[in-house]
Structure 1
Amino acid sequence: MTASGVADPPDSAVLPRLILNAIQSTSAALPPFAQRAFARALAALQYRLSPGRRSAVLENLARIAACGHPGLADPKARGRAARSMFESHHRGWMEYLGRSTALALPAGSTFRVSGTELLYRAIARGRGAILAMPHLGNWEIVGVGLTRLGLRMHTVTGVQIHPLLARQVRALKERAGIRVTTLEDGFAPLVKALRGGEVLALLVDGDVYSRSLPADFFGRRVPFPAGPAILARRARVPILHGHAVRGPSGDHEFTFDGLDEPDFDLPLHEDLRRLTAGVARAQERNIAAHVTQWCIFRPIWGVDAA
């Protein structure tokens, strides 16, 4: 449907589908080493031609450096880290789009999971769990990898890659068995999914959220998505913390690294703040440990972050 409520013409999805198919075919035709080289070239081009994104990344890195990050102490180090972040972003999409089938892993790579004792604790009561993650490593492969392990995955997305391709990228997830909703769908289907045993993966360092609470993040108070905390209370499920990283050989590893339960003895607002602060701490810890694979290209703290 268009914004005016008029039905889309039958061929409205043809061009996006052709574009995405071309990207997928190109990515799939390249061996892993060529994908890496192509991603590096695309990243260098975007770094040069996207001053807004480049500036946002460098400002964010300056804020992290101000908190004492040893690898970001000088401008040259932050410049190298920023270039690595752009490269990780392009490499991630080439890995994801170049797979042979919806449930396949990238060619020549493996997917490992650690910390599964936290996962099993979280879902032991028959309900699902909220999986709070940052944009680290290849987060798209996480959904595929966890689905292959037998988990029923659910996620919330905004526009990915480009508005023209958003519907087709969503269809890729759905073909892998991952249920997808948007902000416009509201909390109700998410609560139902969690109560039904699904694992809801949320990228909580992004800008796709409808409600926020202030939380400390690398030494500054910022609005942080309150959705994980609200859903944990409404659905009576825990929040799992986790992160993905890409190893030197191109393998993918996902780690469950924390678990927070809602506390119904606390007043609602107090518990929401507590849970949101826990999400922010987990994000900070994992981003600091793997900052060169952090793919956020908007300013988090503002231009005075340094």
Structure 2
Amino acid sequence: MREKLVDSGYAAGWAALKLLPEPVVRVLGDQLADFTWRRRGRGVLQLEKNLARVRPTASPAQVRELSRAGMRSYLRYWMESFRLPTWNDRKIADRMQVEGTEHLVAAMEAGRGAVIALPHMANWDLAGAWVVRHLGFNFTTVAERLKPESLFDRFVAYREGLGMEVLALTGSDISVIGTLARRLRAGKLICLVGDRDLSAAGLPVEFFGETTRMPAGPAALAQRTGAALLPVTLWYDGPVMRARIHPPIEVPDDPDRQAAKAAMTQAMADVWATGIAEHPQDWHMLQRFWVADLPSEGAARPQDAQQEQETSAEPTSHA
């Protein structure tokens, strides 16, 4: 019954918010964000623990205000996502300002393929739609399965409607990494949200002075295929969203492939940390993230990861 209610709620949101005037949707999003923030639930409290690491000199009151802005940013992501299928090319262009497109274009024109790797910042779906509609690069991504299955199917259909090929991380007979590698060797583009490790098999990195784990997939794919690894940061700036495509992270000249992969992942994390430090309110990390916060002496149990994923109800992209 709970799963049916969750799916019905998202279906109703998608249907209703497409019809409302945009100023009304904006106000509604802020009100929902403030209501959730005032309830002080698990996600909000964890967001504040995460933001306190990003801004260690901030007072508790400042962290609370930052978390309020963070919840407004997070609800803005949802409100935009519900309405994004109705936006035409002109509106998507008006809502995006992107720096560093030359790095992506150069990799694609050279036929080497590219891995765009993003953290959970601002609206990665809008960024993806912009890449498809205005650069003309369709891409492949990977989505974590949600419960109920009907909700996961709804999100897959939504993203496919924006021009993305979506692979399910689990529950399929195909090899996800193998498929991504084949796309890259064919000179294609893949996009992965890669700052949070759900597998407990990620690589350790230092992030804001503490250890966390991040998925090895982006670096491993670049290492394996020769594709360009391009970290991206996103943030909201008034009515528009800005994005920065950073220069490619090169594969180190190191015979130790594991060490090279770890160095690339750390370099990617460093780029993201700089962007998050500049725009912490747009980092939507409402789950336990650092090793010190995880149960069982830092090893994330699968059921814990699944529970938090269901709490966020957000099929983000990983590898």
Common fold by TM > 0.5: yes
Deviates more, 1:197-206 or 1:97-106: 97-106
Amino acid of the structure 2 residue aligned with 1:120: V
Is residue 93–residue 130 contact of structure 2 (8 Å, CA) maintained in 1? Answer: no
TM-superposed CA distance for 1:51, in Å, is: 2.0
Query: 5, 10, 34: which one pairs with 2:24?
Result: 34
Question: In the superposition, relative to structure 1, how do residues 204 and 42 fare at CA in structure 2: closer, same or farther (>3 Å)?
Answer: same
Would you say 1:54 and 2:44 are equivalent positions?
A: yes
Shift of 1:128: 1.3
- 1:100-139 matched pairs, under 5 angstroms: 100-101=85-86, 109-139=94-124
1:154 paired residue number: 140
User: Counterparts in 2 of 1:217-228, with a 5 A limit?
Assistant: 217-228=207-218
In structure 2, the partner of 1:281 is: 270
Which residue number in structure 2 is paired with residue 272 of structure 1? 261
Matched position secondary structure for 2:12: helix
Q: Does 1:74 align with 2:67?
A: no
TM-score normalized with structure 2 length: 0.81
Cα separation, 1, equivalents of 2:167 and 2:121: 21
Please tell me whether residue 205 in structure 1 is matched to residue 190 in structure 2: no
Which residue does the alignment assign to 1:255?
244
> Can you list the C-alpha shifts for 1:198-255, whole angstroms capped at 9, x where unaligned?
221111123445731111100012212111111111122121011222221x212221
Query: Match of 2:141, as an amino acid?
Result: T
Residue aligning to 1:187:
177
Unmatched segments (≥5 aa) in structure 2 = 295-319
Cα 1:19–1:74, aligned 2, differ >3 Å: closer, same or farther?
closer
SS of the aligned residue for 1:98 comes to helix
Structure 1: distance between partners of 2:293 and 2:136: 44
- Provide the rounded CA distance (Å) in 2 between the counterparts of 1:106 and 1:91: 16
TM-score by length of 1: 0.84
Contact 1:105/1:145 (8 A) holds in 2? no
Helix, strand or coil at the partner of 1:59: helix
**Matched residue type, 1:49:** R
The secondary structure found in structure 2 opposite 1:29 is coil
Change (3 A) 1:174 1:226: same
Residue 93 (structure 1) aligned with residue 78 (structure 2): yes
Q: Name the SS for the 1:187 alignment partner.
A: helix
Q: Which of 129, 150, 168 lines up with 2:154 in the alignment?
A: 168
SS, match of residue 261 in structure 1? coil
Q: Is the 8 A contact 1:102 1:172 kept in 2?
A: no
Report the Cα distance in structure 1 between the residues aligned to 2:92 and 2:219, rounded to whole angstroms.
37
**Secondary structure of 2:84's match?**
coil
Query: May I ask how many residue pairs the two structures share in their alignment?
Result: 286
Distance 1:161 1:281, change over 3 A: farther
Aligned-CA RMSD value: 2.7
In 1, the alpha carbon distance for the partners of 2:152 and 2:90 equals: 21
CA distance 1:211–1:230, shift in 2 (3 Å): farther
The structure that is helix-richer by fraction is 2
Unaligned runs of 5+ in 1: 1-13
Whether the aligned pair in 2 keeps the contact of 1:238 and 1:261 (CA below 8 Å) is yes
Distance 2:127 2:217 in 1: 20
- Once the two structures are superposed, residues 31-75 of structure 1 have per-residue CA deviations (whole angstroms, 9 ceiling, x without a partner) of 222222111111122223352112211111111222x5xxxx111
Give 1:164 shift.
Answer: 4.6
Task: Give the whole-Å Cα distance in 2 for the aligned partners of 1:105 and 1:39.
Answer: 23
Q: Is the 8 A contact 1:16 1:164 kept in 2?
A: no
Matches within 5 A, 1:289-304: 289-301=278-290, 302=292
- Give the 3-state SS of the residue equivalent to 2:115 in structure 1: strand
State whether residues 131 and 240 of structure 1, in contact with CA within 8 Å, keep that contact through their aligned partners in structure 2.
yes
Per the TM alignment, residue 108 of structure 1 is displaced from its structure 2 partner at its CA by: 9.9
